[in-house]
Amino acid sequence: MMNFLLPAVIALGGMGIVSALILYFVAKKFEVREDPRIAEILSLLPAANCGGCGYPGCSGFASACVKATTLDGLLCPVGGTATMSGIAAVLGQSAVECEPTIAVVHCNGSRDKRTITNIYEGAANCAITSALYGGETACPYGCLGFGDCVTACLFNSIRINPETLLPEIDEDQCTSCGACIKACPRQLIQLRKKGPDSRRIYVGCMNKDKGAVARKACNVACIGCSKCQKNCESEAITIIDNLAVIDESKCTLCGKCVEECPTSSIVEHLKTKTLPC
């Protein structure tokens, strides 16, 4: 019996050794070596893996930085300028200056300012509600108030105000990752420049209906009257689809548009305190 087993064991052992050697040489030949700078850049990133940079996680962003010939167009919104300066130092490139941004809710129509047309008793989810019908109010553009943005935020920087049923952004917690923007089915949240001392001016409305219709739906809706545009000395405001649009690159924060707006749809924002738990 042993006379038959021994040759078989030797043959199998030899085949195993040969296979191992083949796999070793194949692995060496097709070995993909990772640039050591990727690991160095990863150590500088905040490890949020939020996708705000446009890449699948921090490792994807680190690889993109190493492969890029310039850092123009590449930004870690969570780490900001400090992180990008560190990455630039690792790669021997010039640091990219980026002005701080923050998520802004372009809806100022709290429930007391909008006409309630029905009572919704379905799933408490903005995406579902938006897909099924226009919402509980007469404004088909306004915030639905169920907090999909709150659920999407990884940094606990958004809450729904229980009185107004509108999202509120915590200035100190928001990282501009953009998750809330993707979560809002009505595209009411946008990234805007944080502004000097967190002061900024923006249109708190996205209603594109004509003036009379928009005003009937919400007391603070933009009615496209052009008063803000006519009084803006820096020509930073245009009326597009019955809605005022402010060009941040031209706006000097003079505040004249805020004073002239007959419906108070243009908001002058000052820094608020940290949101309560």
The tens digit of pLDDT for each residue in 225-238 reads 999 999 999 999 99
Q: Which residue has the higher pLDDT, 10 or 209?
A: 209
The pLDDT tens digits of the residues spanning 92-115 come to 988 777 788 999 999 999 989 988
The third-level CATH classification (topology) of the domain covering 101-269 is Alpha-Beta Plaits (3.30.70)
* Residue 163: both structure tokens together: 């009185």
Token pair 């995406």 is found at 127
| Span of 24-33, 65-74, 218-227, 268-277 with lowest mean pLDDT | 268-277
Domain-by-domain residue ranges, the chain?
36-91, 101-269
Tokens, residue 273: 């305190």
Q: What is the 3-state secondary structure (H, E, C) of 113-126?
A: CECECCCCCCCCCH
171 contact partners, CB below 8 Å, separation of at least 6: 102, 198, 271, 272, 274
Measured CA to CA, the distance from residue 185 to residue 146 in angstroms comes to 11
Above 90 in pLDDT, residue 149? yes
* Predicted confidence (pLDDT) at residue 36 exceeds the cutoff of 70: yes
Q: Is 205 buried (19+), middle (13-18) or exposed (0-12) by CB count in 10 A?
A: buried
- The class (CATH top level) of 36-91 is mainly alpha
Residues 203 and 115 sit within 8 Å (Cβ to Cβ)? no
Please tell me the pTM assigned to this model. Answer: 0.77
Q: What 3-state class would DSSP assign to 70?
A: coil
Strands 237-240 and 266-269: unpaired
CA distance 112 to 106: 17
Q: Tell me, what's the pLDDT at 273?
A: 46
Residue 180 belongs to what H/E stretch? Answer: helix 179-183
Residue written as tokens 């990219």?
A: 96
Question: Quick one: 176 exposed, middle or buried, by C-beta within 10 A (0-12, 13-18, 19+)?
Answer: buried
